[in-house]
Amino acid sequence: MQTKNMRILVTGAAGFLGSHLCDALLAEGHTVVGVDNLSTGSLANLEHLRAEPRFDFREQDICLPFEPGAVNFVFNFASPASPVDYMNLGIETLRVGSEGTRNALEIASRYGAGFLHASTSECYGDPKVHPQSEDYWGHVNPIGPRSVYDEAKRFSEALVMAYHRYRGVDTRLVRIFNTYGPRLQFNDGRVISNLMTQALRGEDLTVYGDGSQTRSFCYVSDEIDGILRLARSNEHLPVNIGNPIEWTILECAQEVLAVTGATCQIRYQPLPTDDPLQRRPDITRARTLLGWEPKIDLHTGLSLSLPYFQQSVSATAVQSSSRDQ
């Protein structure tokens, strides 16, 4: 990937990570074509780019062949990414991981463009190896409720590597671990969004199981930095980009209470089927190959995210009040 003056395609551009990626690419001086079918993305995430002449948004389902014109690089970020979304849109999630990824790869192949695919730590499933390094093949239930997402991403990784091996496409694979920050859907069922929203509404915080299951939370600016470093590298095999500091869900809930100042109680609920009990990236490859590691700790990242969640909760309350009148 060149350092400037590229024309870049970003699929899933109206999503949480996709919109932040568009911002970062534009800041580097590139021209960006963003596509999204808006099934889970939001135009509100791109509203600040409405008058940007180097940004071209197109409402497009990438599961259908499309033509963006000549591009130098493709970032494939189109997919439902939260449990609420991919369990409601199971078939659509499988399609975007297969047909959609293939269509994006065809564009890269056609124009000799570089290609970076957004994969996920869900490829490791409920891991039996801890922490998870890229050479671990995972422990995934192929027919469980999360399989529509897990297997879509595992298949898309195989498809990306096939286009690299058989078509010579210059590909990269990032395995993204839990990421949070502004523009994360406040009602999407992910840990941070759930806890922040409940705390700001004064509701009890929902913790599943006994709260001892672990996650590693990466602030969005760190995640985007790692992704861009990978895009500029020559690495074709998967690279974990995530924060290696491990938190129990209960510890995370307590940190949310500290940041928001809320005095809510913890409400325990049964652990969902196939919910991973532990998740932590081994980022040795990212450190060695990319010189990358996260800089922002959870407390700081939650504090940076707080105004966004406050605004989202407030706006929802106003809308609800208007409907009730």
Task: For residue 206, count CB atoms less than 10 angstroms from its CB and return exposed for 0-12, middle for 13-18, buried for 19 or more.
Answer: middle
- Give per-residue pLDDT as tens, 42-82: 999 999 999 999 999 999 999 999 999 999 999 999 999 88
- Measured CA to CA, the distance from residue 45 to residue 183 in angstroms comes to 7
From the list 86, 149, 163, 180, the catalytic residue is: 149
CATH code of the domain made up of 7-181+218-244+280-295: 3.40.50.720
**Taking CA 183 as the corner, what is the angle to CA 182 and CA 189, rounded to the nearest 5 degrees?**
105
Residue of 1, 181, 156 whose CA lies nearest to 78? 156
Query: What is the residue type of 188?
Result: D
DSSP-assigned beta bridge partners for residue 11 = 35, 76
CB 255 within 8 A of CB 298: yes
Q: Is the dihedral of CA 281, 304, 42, 21 positive or negative?
A: negative
- Give per-residue pLDDT as tens, 9-35: 999 999 999 999 999 999 999 999 999
Residue of 200, 191, 187 whose CA lies nearest to 306? 200
- Is residue 86 annotated as part of the catalytic site, yes or no? no
Beta strands in 78-202 (DSSP E): 114-120, 170-176, 179-180
The residue assigned the tokens 């564009």 is: 107
CB 325 within 8 A of CB 174: no
User: Reduced to 3 states, what is the DSSP secondary structure of residue 273?
Assistant: coil
Tens digits of pLDDT across the chain (325 residues): 766 789 999 999 999 999 999 999 999 999 999 999 999 999 999 999 999 999 999 999 999 999 999 999 999 999 998 888 998 999 999 999 999 999 999 999 999 999 999 999 999 999 999 999 999 999 999 999 999 999 999 999 999 999 999 999 999 999 999 999 999 987 777 899 999 999 999 999 999 999 999 899 999 999 999 999 999 999 999 999 999 999 999 999 999 999 999 999 999 999 888 778 888 999 999 999 999 999 999 999 999 999 999 999 988 765 555 555 5
Listed by start position, the domains of the chain span 7-181+218-244+280-295
User: Reduced to 3 states, what is the DSSP secondary structure of residue 48?
Assistant: helix
> pTM of the predicted model, to two decimals?
0.94
